A and B are shown apart, each in its own frame.
Chain A
């Protein structure tokens, strides 16, 4: 079945540091890939997405590239801010015969210190 594996947190960085949160997946067919973010006290919201191999999703300075050869969708940001502190979830939506609801990773908490 479909599954998503994320690096465990918390990840603690200083402001303006480079961020990478690793995400790998297992899926049948050609899934779409997502990063969702949950800010403190708020609901989940979509951060970025990619629908096919080599696509790069980007938003708010964050980027992730759909790598089919390594089944990965790592999240990166060149310079984090305190306001980026949140929990980040990698997710996929199944294609073909796979489940069509979103499958989420366990989430990675990011703490950015001033």
Chain B
């Protein structure tokens, strides 16, 4: 597609259930990012994939969160045993390649996000 696609756009789940959020990046983009945006807050980094390199998972808030990227394209963010504090908008972004020290500034394109509500 023309842009980053995320599904579902909205998800309401019961506390304790597992959820899967999907991200379809722009074709050919090697870098993929997941962020979380809580109401009225900034963007919290979760995880970053770049090509075949090991992902940067340093932003995942707990071991209930995991993500994978299959075939270097589609990514799935999984939250196990959801808690009410997991309620937020989960944003996915992709870029053509990662920024480098030489001064390359690579634009990241964002999807519309998945609004997760845990009740």
Scoring A29, A33, A49, A51 by chain B CB atoms within 10 A of each residue's CB, the highest score goes to: A51
A45 part of interface (Cβ distance < 8 Å): yes
How many chain B residues have a CB neighbour from A under 8 Å? 29
Contact in complex: B113, A102 (CB < 8 Å): no
Of the candidates B41, B56, B111, B112, the one whose C-beta lies within 8 Å of that of A99 is B56
Contact in complex: B42, A51 (CB < 8 Å): no
Contact in complex: A46, B100 (CB < 8 Å): no
How many chain A residues have a CB neighbour from B under 8 Å? 30
Contact A93-B103, Cβ < 8 Å, known A100-B50, A101-B56, A105-B42: no
> What does DSSP make chain A's interface, helix, strand, loop or mixed?
loop
Shortest Cβ distance from B44 into chain A, in angstroms? Answer: 8
Shortest Cβ distance from A102 into chain B, in angstroms? Answer: 6
Which B residues are in CB contact (< 8 Å) with A45? 110
Which A residues are in CB contact (< 8 Å) with B31? 100
Nearest residue (CB) in A for B97 is: A100
Nearest residue (CB) in B for A93 is: B99
Contact in complex: B101, A29 (CB < 8 Å): yes
Contact in complex: A95, B45 (CB < 8 Å): no
Contact in complex: A106, B105 (CB < 8 Å): no
Contact with B along A41-82 (1 / 0, CB 8 A): 011111001111000000000000000000000000000000
User: What are 6 inter-chain pairs, A to B, with CB distance below 8 A?
Assistant: A29-B101, A51-B104, A95-B101, A100-B56, A101-B33, A104-B43
Which 6 A-B pairs have CB atoms at the shortest separation, nearest pair first?
Answer: A106-B42, A32-B105, A93-B99, A101-B48, A104-B43, A95-B101
Known: A50-B105, A93-B98. 16 other contacts (CB 8 A): A29-B101, A31-B99, A32-B104, A34-B107, A43-B110, A44-B91, A44-B93, A95-B99, A95-B100, A101-B48, A102-B33, A102-B45, A102-B108, A104-B45, A107-B41, A107-B43
